[in-house]
Amino acid sequence: MRTQRQDDPEDVVAVRERNTRTKNSSEPVPFDLTFEIFSRLPAKSVARFHCLSKKWASTLRLTYFTDLFFTRSSARPQLLFACHKDRHVFFFSSSQPHIFHHEQQHSSLLAAKYQMKISNPFFSSEGFISTRGLVFLRDVRNISFLRGTKHQAPVICKPSTGQYLTLPKVKTRRRIGVNSYFGYDPVENQYKVLSMTWLVYGQVDYCGEHQLLTFGTTGEPSWKKIQCHLFYSLRSLYNQICINGVLYYPAINRSSQDYIIVCFDVRSEKFSFVREKSGTFGSERLINYNGKLGSLESQCFGGSCTSINLKVLEDAEKHEWSEHTYVLPALWKNLVGDTTARFVGVTRTNEIVLSSYYQYPHAPFYVFYYNTERNTITRFVIQGFEAFKGCYFHTFLDHVEDLNMKLVIHILKDAFI
C-alpha cells in the first residue's frame, strides 16, 4: 500500500526561486506569504486558481500547502446541510457556532450558503456520510446497462469545490442488494468504500461478498474482494461513522440475535466487533465522542423528551461502555416546541448537537446546541432555506475543506457545477 508522497525539498526550493523572479519592477510576494493568503481562501477559489497555469498547479499541489490549508480549515469547521428537492440534492454550509461558557440560554441566527447540487431521484435521510471534506451518497445514481436494466450506484461529491464522481459498479452475479460504507485512513491518506452484497432466503438477509474500493492511489479505482472473518450473518443499517481510521456500523448476529457494532480497520482491512448489551437495534445514533465511539439513545427527539442518554466505548476488547444521562432544562420544551429533531453529533467541546430534519412550511429550520456541563440550550435559526419548504434535510457537524489535489483533480473528474 502506498504512503502519501512527501514534497521533494528541491521542488520546494525551485518553487520558491521561481516565485521570487519577476520581469517587472514590482516587489515579488514572499513565498510563505503567498501560501498564507491562499490558505485563507475558500476551497472552490483555490481549485480555480489551480487551473490557471502549470505554475499555479505545481505550487498548489505541494503537500506543504495542502496540509496548511487543511489545518486552517480544521480550525474553522462548518455545518453542512443536504436537502432533497425536485430529484436533486442541494448542499449548503454555514459557519459552525462556538458556544462560549459565559453565554446564556438564547436563540441566534445563522446564514446558510449554497454550495452545489447533484441529480438524485432517491433520498434517504440516513444515506449520507461526510468524511474529511467528502460526502458519500449511497446507491443514488441510476446507471443504464444493456437490455434496459439499471443499477443504483453510489456517488462521492466534494461540496466545497462542486465536484462529484459516480463509483464503478460492484461486479458480482450474486447481488440482490448492496450496502455501502465510507471510511478514511489518515495514515495512508486513503478513502475506501466497503460494499456488501446481500442474498435473500425467505425473510432472512444473509451477508454475501465483501468488496472494497480504494481512492488516493495511482490508476483507476477498482473493486477487490476481501474476506470477512466474522462468522455471523449480518443485516447492516445505514448508521455509521469513521473514527481514527476505524469504520463502525451496527449489525445483528443472526444466530444469537445479539446487537453488535462491526469495527472495520480501514488501513489493515480487518474486521472485529463490539457488543452493546443495552442497545435498541436501529434506534441509536453512532457519534464521535472525543475520538471514541459513542451512541445517543434515539435518532428522533422532540420537545416532550426530558433527558439524553449517552454511551461511550471505553474498551473495545473488553466490550466496556460508560453511560451518562443528562436531564434537560425546562427551557428545552419551549425552544423545541413541536419540532422533531435528530442528533447530529457532539462538538469538540462536548456540546450535543441536534437539528431539524424537515423544513415545515410555517416554521424555521433549527439547530440546537446542548451544553452538558452547564445544562444549557442554545437554538440557532438557519436562514436561506425559504425555497425548500416541505423538504427533508440531513445535517453534518465539523465539515472541513480538504485540498488533497491528487484526489480532487485525478479522481473527481467532473467539471464544476
The grid cell for 121 is 431521484
Instruction: Provide the 10 A C-beta neighbour count for residue 150.
Output: 10
Boundary (domain end) residue, out of 17, 42, 69? 69
**Residue found under cell 451518562:** 324
Shared domain check, 230 and 170: yes
pLDDT digits (tens, 9 = 90+) for 331-357: 888 888 888 888 999 998 889 999 998
Boundary (domain end) residue, out of 48, 69, 90? 69
Q: Report yes or no on 415 lying in a domain.
A: no
The grid cell for 403 is 485540498
Rounded Cα distance, 394 and 403, in Å: 24
At residue 305, what are phi and psi to the nearest 5 degrees? -75, 145
Give the pLDDT confidence score for residue 14 in this predicted structure: 55
Amino acid type, 295: S
Residue 352 structural domain: 76-410
The grid cell for 57 is 498547479
Q: Report yes or no on 416 lying in a domain.
A: no
Rounded Cα distance, 236 and 259, in Å: 11
User: Can you list the residues of the chain whose pLDDT is less than 70?
Assistant: 1-29, 31, 99-105, 121-127, 139-152, 172-177, 198-208, 216-220, 229-238, 253-257, 277-283, 298-300, 404-417
Torsion of CA 120, 392, 42, 78, to 10 degrees: -140
CATH of the domain at 134: 2.120.10.30
Shared domain check, 80 and 58: no
Shared domain check, 98 and 44: no
For CA atoms 348, 352, 358, 360, the dihedral sign is negative
pLDDT digits (tens, 9 = 90+) for 131-187: 888 888 875 544 444 344 455 677 888 888 888 888 877 776 655 667 788 999 988
Q: Report yes or no on 4 lying in a domain.
A: no
Boundary (domain end) residue, out of 49, 69, 89? 69
Q: Report yes or no on 305 lying in a domain.
A: yes
Closest CA to 264 of 298, 222, 236: 236
Q: Report yes or no on 260 lying in a domain.
A: yes
The grid cell for 47 is 481549485
Shared domain check, 359 and 275: yes
H/E segment holding residue 251: strand 246-252
Rounded Cα distance, 126 and 394, in Å: 8
Q: Report yes or no on 2 lying in a domain.
A: no
What SS3 class is residue 384? coil
Q: Report yes or no on 1 lying in a domain.
A: no
Shared domain check, 56 and 190: no
Shared domain check, 358 and 263: yes
Closest CA to 271 of 226, 204, 333: 226
Shared domain check, 48 and 17: yes
Shared domain check, 259 and 167: yes
Shared domain check, 60 and 208: no
Q: How many domains does the chain have?
A: 2
Shared domain check, 312 and 283: yes
Give the pLDDT confidence score for residue 123 in this predicted structure: 54
Shared domain check, 212 and 168: yes
At residue 408, what are phi and psi to the nearest 5 degrees? -65, -45
Give the pLDDT confidence score for residue 92 in this predicted structure: 95
Distances in Å between the Cα of 110 and the Cα atoms of 9, 95, 349, 387 are 43, 7, 20, 16
Shared domain check, 21 and 130: no
Helices (H), 76-190: none
Rounded Cα distance, 49 and 114, in Å: 21
Q: Report yes or no on 160 lying in a domain.
A: yes
